[in-house]
Amino acid sequence: MLLANRGFNNLFDDMFSDPFFSRSYDHTSAQIMKTDIHEKDGNYLVEMELPGYAKEDIKADLKDGYLTISAHKNMTKEEKDAKGNCVHKERYTGTCNRSFYVGDALTQDDIKAAFKEGVLHLSFPKEVQKQEELPRLITIE
């Protein structure tokens, strides 16, 4: 009996070895947000592919030395027949994000960003001198 079930189990093992099923949730952002990082003239140049996203869908945030890029999309696709009846409707909502440690000396002013033809371009200096916070006087009225 054990041998008969072994063949049946192998059928399902093969089905779930398909790359679609083997991707873990943690790696989906990396597969969607393919990133190249280059060094040129003392700067890092980051190119991140975000096909299908608009500039308004993308946010870049710098906090505690981590640069986080996130993209969020809501999409509804509806097909109707000649009489206007819905024959097919799909909805998609998704968010993906990636974080990179860029150092705690970097500020938002050091980072330049542009989005063109589905690719996010970021540039920032490789090395930044950490600026000491100057004391700010409080006006007393």
| pLDDT for the residue 30 | 55
Neighbours of 126 (CB within 10 A): 13
Task: Convert the pLDDT of each residue in 68-127 to its tens digit.
Answer: 999 998 888 888 888 888 888 888 788 899 999 998 888 898 999 999 999 999 999 988
Domain residue ranges in the chain: 25-125
Instruction: Name the residue among 134, 102, 136, 123 with its Cα closest to residue 47.
Output: 123
Which of residues 136 and 114 earns the better pLDDT score? 114
- Band of pLDDT at residue 131, cut at 50, 70 and 90: low
| pLDDT for the residue 25 | 42
> In whole angstroms, what separates CA 34 from the centre of its chain?
8
Average pLDDT score over residue span 25-54:
82
Candidate CATH numbers 3.40.50.10700, 2.60.40.790, 3.10.20.30, 3.90.550.10; the one for domain 25-125:
2.60.40.790
Question: What is the average pLDDT value for the chain, to the nearest integer?
Answer: 78
| pLDDT for the residue 27 | 46
Give burial (CB, 10 Å; 0-12/13-18/19+) of 48. buried
